[in-house]
Structure 1
Amino acid sequence: MHPKYRPDIDGLRAIAVGSVLAYHAFPSLLPGGFIGVDIFFVISGFLITTILLQSLAAGDFSYRDFYARRIRRIFPALVLVLLATLAFGWYVLLPGEFSQLGKQTTGGAAFFANLVFLGEAGYFDASAETKPLLHLWSLGIEEQFYIFWPLMLGLAWRRRWPMLRVVLAVAVISFLVNVLTVQAHRAAAFYSPLSRAWELMAGGLLAVMQLQSVAQGAATARAWKKHLQSIVGIALIVLGLFMTRSTKAFPGWWALLPVLGAASCIAAGPGGVLNRYLLSNRVMVWIGLISYPLYLWHWPLLSYARIVTGGEPPLQLRIVLVAASVVLAWATYRFLERFVKLHLSQAILRGLAGAGAALALAGVLVFLGTPMPRHDSPALQAVADATREDNYYDGFEEAALGNQFVYRAGSGKHNVLLIGDSHVEQYAPRALELVRTQPDKARTIYFATKGSCPPVPGLFSGPDTGCDERRTAVLDLALKPEIDSVVLGACWSCYFTGAGPTVNYFVDDRKAVHPFIGGDGIDQSLKSLGEVLKRLSAHKPVYLVLGNPVGMDFDPLRQIEGSRLGRMTAESGQLKAPMPQDQAQFNARLKQVAQANGAKVIEPFASLCADGECIRSMPDDGSPAYKDIGHLRPRYARSFATYIDPALLDEGAVGK
């Protein structure tokens, strides 16, 4: 048995998929768009629980029929997208990348994609953008729910357990797992079904309450109550879209916004004012109908665009890809999903299940190296390894310091806090290496970083996606007595030299804007940095890490000739690039600011450059030393970025 069709739920699906798509394609436009997945979870929990309880009540429930319907719903589009993603991956990926895609394909086809990604970098890490099947983590959680929940409900029904209490108990336990693990084990809280089940249970609770209300002949809620639920639901979702950030502990308490919002919208019913006029709008319903294939198609397109272009695709290309994903989703719905729905037979069902199993097996073979991708040169692979090696916090503990999410390593007598953007994050592997090799000398090391967020109050770089809030909080944290020393750093040349100043500006205490070009924004920013260093150095040792060389000359992809869509070759060996003189000059200016305000200076140029040239390659094997145009790869930082050691070891330990 199936619940009566509600167009407003398809409209809610449209909000969910549109939010995720906007976040992936235009992240600065909708910084909290990833909560669309949480909306999907609530919808699934409501519909599946309704179906199961109605079937159990009617006495016609069949596990075989239930799972057959899940295969019919999930497999047609999933098999098509997996096949297309794997085939295109063979054409454009390098051996290591293609092998990883094989593992992801198996996870996606065998219902454990979330567990695959749990063992890798987090959902919000930079490397996530080049994983074409990353989005299947949410499908893994739903599929695990489809396996567990019918068995649980069937047992509760046979034992005549109070259904509302059963669902509530599962929800409460899962929510407690969520809030208790989100700080210490962020990735696990994000990907684990144990910490996500409560979101599905929110929909399940709603289903149980509505069915019990109908069975008891309860009076229909008044219209004003439904309108209020509809308005509150949409308001909570909008609040979540614009307030939630990737830097916050998510899901945690923040996930209550989309979950309660979606539940309130569903509870309002089709008669709620916004359900009727917004969610049931024909356009919204149409998007909702293609939401599943749209979710499946959009991410591989965007991810492969990043891989092929070697970075963030141009805005025009992202717009084209969003449009293409809509077209592909419509075609998949119109010509594949509807065909399977109208012509479902045992033969088609067995074919879909067999195709899923075949793809899972193919993924295993690809992971093991058979077949090799089209681009299989060892020199190309060395470059690819460098560009993919960016999980800087691998091996760190996820922790909370004050009320801020941080990464922690070591257990030394003194605590050091590192603040800045990803150019501070790049030294995390060196910190972990010191903790491993010199545990008695290494400090307890905390990294409180945020990409594109320099530790300079008032300095803004493009759209502010929570930088100022994070920056203020961690700089306040640096003043706490439990922090013994502080390290500040950033990609200074990204903000102050080259093309950076075209989008950067300074905002003073009176909210007046000081542009970098045609204004005194640079001077004001350096003054602000000096004030921070002076305030901190009055209480504890402070280090300012100057910039390392950045620019297109240092891009490991410069070693490759050709394109991923054509033929590629790569050079190797001990490669160097001219020293960026403007960056060296600006570092000298930063050094003066630091010394004038009581801070010690760490100078990467002194180790990375000599005689007017800077290294591009690893000293040992000649593979790239950088992962992109500006970040040192973790393998280089781990072994050779020894210039950062004085800030991470107890005084007197360096060089011993």
Structure 2
Amino acid sequence: MLIVSSIVLAYFTYIFIEKKFKKITYQSSVILFVSNVALLLLGITSYELNLKPRNSQSGIESIVNATNEGVSKRDLMPIKFESQVFYTKMAGNEKVVMYGDSHMEQYIPRVVKLLDDHQQGSKTAVFVTKPGCPPMPDVYSQVALDFGECVKFREESLNYILSDDIQSVVVTACWNCYFIEGLDYKDLYYLNADNKVYFNEVGGADLGLKSLENFLLHLSAHKKVYLLLDNPAGESFNPKNYWSGSRINEIQVKFPTTKIKLDDKQNQLRYKLLEIAHRTNVIAIDPIAELCKNDECLFLLENNVPIYKDNNHLRPSYIKTAIDYLDVAIISDSIPAK
């Protein structure tokens, strides 16, 4: 039956389609010839004038590559604790918990590389993270995550961190997002009993910082604790802002010609966090000390390669190969990082 159908279809295709195209008149032949010549001349002209497509600039590829980079957990092993799923990279017997939000997850590529290079004498790392759930007791986001989900995550995460299986913990978050007006600041609130005190209200952000300080003080009584401060952030770092134009007109790429000045509010928050680390007897890790010199911050490598993927996350590939300030919490002091 299929063979007969194929023969019938081929016959009607020949009658109604192929025969019509074979009957080309003299007038049609002339039109076809002229069209081909016109296309040939257009091609030669484009070559001679070196006409470029509207999006041929090499900077566009650099920007697209940066913004499209993502963090993968494929090199980590999922583990179940109570109702939560955490992710681990196995190495030595000592375990360090990497606790925080998406700003902790951005360091996964670096931790994986370190433990691949230094299996012996390094700590097993366990990522205990929940994007949109600030690692501060009684602090919540109005829009980022379900309230009950965040509460349960924090409770069970703390149970895991304080277990005998864990020796140390690194705590980080998008501190700039939470405590500086203009990022996620307006969506954060401190929950005092049933009363919400938003961070953009008088004293709200101070309550959040005090909550973080009390949390670190509680952890440091039981574990070795590292407080990882924030990397510089803001729209000036966002690669998407380095181009302009649309699909209709020409796309222009213009990278800033100077380094980006460290935001004063971010620097003030940095010193507040350093003071909290000192008061709670935890070890502070300061990315700004490496990423900024004389209050001017790195945002491009040679050949205009961005080191950020958006306005507050560093690129995974850059973190993997160039960021070493977190190494102290992961590998033994006697083992040099690559």
TM-score (norm 1): 0.41
> 1:486 Cα deviation (Å)?
0.4
2:29 corresponding residue in structure 1:
none
Residues 74-93 of structure 1: pairs in structure 2 closer than 5 A: none
Matching of residue 594 in structure 1 with residue 277 in structure 2 = yes
Identity between Structure 1 and Structure 2 (%):
33
Aligned residues of 1:497 and 1:583 also touching (Cα < 8 A)? yes
Rounded Cα–Cα distance in structure 1 between residues aligned with 2:258 and 2:306: 8
2:262 corresponding residue in structure 1:
579
Residues 386-401 of structure 1: pairs in structure 2 closer than 5 A: 386-401=66-81
Q: Which amino acid aligns with 1:432?
A: V
Q: Look up the SS of the partner of 1:433 in the other structure.
A: helix
Of 397, 408, 411 in structure 1, the residue corresponding to residue 88 of structure 2 is 408
Q: Which amino acid aligns with 1:590?
A: L
1:449 corresponding residue in structure 2:
129
Aligned residues of 1:573 and 1:621 also touching (Cα < 8 A)? no
Of 230, 236, 250 in structure 2, the residue corresponding to residue 567 of structure 1 is 250
Matching of residue 556 in structure 1 with residue 239 in structure 2 = yes
1:248 corresponding residue in structure 2:
none
Matching of residue 432 in structure 1 with residue 112 in structure 2 = yes
- How many residue pairs match? The answer is 285
> 1:449 Cα deviation (Å)?
1.2
2:24 corresponding residue in structure 1:
none
Aligned residues of 1:392 and 1:634 also touching (Cα < 8 A)? no
Q: Which amino acid aligns with 1:481?
A: D
Residues 122-161 of structure 1: pairs in structure 2 closer than 5 A: none
Q: Which amino acid aligns with 1:556?
A: P
1:470 corresponding residue in structure 2:
153
Aligned residues of 2:96 and 2:126 also touching (Cα < 8 A)? yes
Of 415, 423, 428 in structure 1, the residue corresponding to residue 103 of structure 2 is 423
Aligned residues of 2:242 and 2:256 also touching (Cα < 8 A)? no
1:506 corresponding residue in structure 2:
190
Rounded Cα–Cα distance in structure 2 between residues aligned with 1:597 and 1:559: 41
- 1:178-215 Cα deviation digits (max 9, x unpaired): xxxxxxxxxxxxxxxxxxxxxxxxxxxxxxxxxxxxxx
Change (3 A) 1:551 1:564: farther
Rounded Cα–Cα distance in structure 2 between residues aligned with 1:396 and 1:374: 42
1:517 corresponding residue in structure 2:
200
Q: Look up the SS of the partner of 2:304 in the other structure.
A: coil
Aligned residues of 2:103 and 2:174 also touching (Cα < 8 A)? yes
Q: Which amino acid aligns with 1:507?
A: L
Rounded Cα–Cα distance in structure 1 between residues aligned with 2:177 and 2:247: 28
> 1:437 Cα deviation (Å)?
1.6
Larger radius of gyration: 2
Rounded Cα–Cα distance in structure 2 between residues aligned with 1:435 and 1:564: 44
Change (3 A) 1:615 1:524: same
Matching of residue 481 in structure 1 with residue 164 in structure 2 = yes
Change (3 A) 1:396 1:605: same
- 1:24-50 Cα deviation digits (max 9, x unpaired): xxxxxxxxxxxxxxxxxxxxxxxxxxx
Residues 23-422 of structure 1: pairs in structure 2 closer than 5 A: 375-422=55-102
Matching of residue 648 in structure 1 with residue 309 in structure 2 = no
Of 599, 612, 621 in structure 1, the residue corresponding to residue 295 of structure 2 is 612
- 1:518-550 Cα deviation digits (max 9, x unpaired): 332212211211111111111111011111101
Aligned residues of 1:573 and 1:622 also touching (Cα < 8 A)? no
1:180 corresponding residue in structure 2:
none
1:639 corresponding residue in structure 2:
321
Aligned residues of 2:63 and 2:306 also touching (Cα < 8 A)? yes
Matching of residue 461 in structure 1 with residue 141 in structure 2 = yes
> 1:379 Cα deviation (Å)?
1.9
Change (3 A) 1:374 1:570: closer
Change (3 A) 1:575 1:389: farther
> 1:651 Cα deviation (Å)?
4.4
Rounded Cα–Cα distance in structure 2 between residues aligned with 1:477 and 1:565: 54
1:90 corresponding residue in structure 2:
none
Change (3 A) 1:596 1:562: same
Rounded Cα–Cα distance in structure 2 between residues aligned with 1:617 and 1:634: 14
Q: Look up the SS of the partner of 1:642 in the other structure.
A: coil
> 1:609 Cα deviation (Å)?
0.5
> 1:557 Cα deviation (Å)?
1.3
Is there any run of 5+ residues in structure 1 with no aligned partner, and where? 1-63, 65-345, 348-372
Of 308, 316, 329 in structure 2, the residue corresponding to residue 626 of structure 1 is 308
Change (3 A) 1:645 1:621: farther
- 1:408-456 Cα deviation digits (max 9, x unpaired): 1132121111111111111111101101222213311111111122100
Change (3 A) 1:382 1:495: same
Q: Look up the SS of the partner of 1:527 in the other structure.
A: helix
Q: Look up the SS of the partner of 2:288 in the other structure.
A: helix
Rounded Cα–Cα distance in structure 2 between residues aligned with 1:394 and 1:571: 35
Change (3 A) 1:413 1:561: same
**How well do the aligned residues superpose, as a CA RMSD in angstroms?**
2.4
Rounded Cα–Cα distance in structure 2 between residues aligned with 1:481 and 1:520: 37
Rounded Cα–Cα distance in structure 2 between residues aligned with 1:626 and 1:617: 8
Rounded Cα–Cα distance in structure 2 between residues aligned with 1:410 and 1:623: 32
Change (3 A) 1:382 1:423: same
Rounded Cα–Cα distance in structure 2 between residues aligned with 1:605 and 1:401: 34
Q: Look up the SS of the partner of 1:456 in the other structure.
A: coil
1:545 corresponding residue in structure 2:
228
Aligned residues of 2:95 and 2:123 also touching (Cα < 8 A)? yes
Q: Tell me: higher relative CO, structure 1 or 2? Use CA pairs within 8 A at least 6 residues apart.
A: 2
Aligned residues of 1:645 and 1:654 also touching (Cα < 8 A)? no
> 1:621 Cα deviation (Å)?
4.7
TM-score (norm 2): 0.78
Q: Look up the SS of the partner of 2:314 in the other structure.
A: coil
Rounded Cα–Cα distance in structure 2 between residues aligned with 1:575 and 1:389: 25
Q: Look up the SS of the partner of 1:446 in the other structure.
A: strand
Rounded Cα–Cα distance in structure 2 between residues aligned with 1:400 and 1:453: 19
Q: Which amino acid aligns with 1:562?
A: G
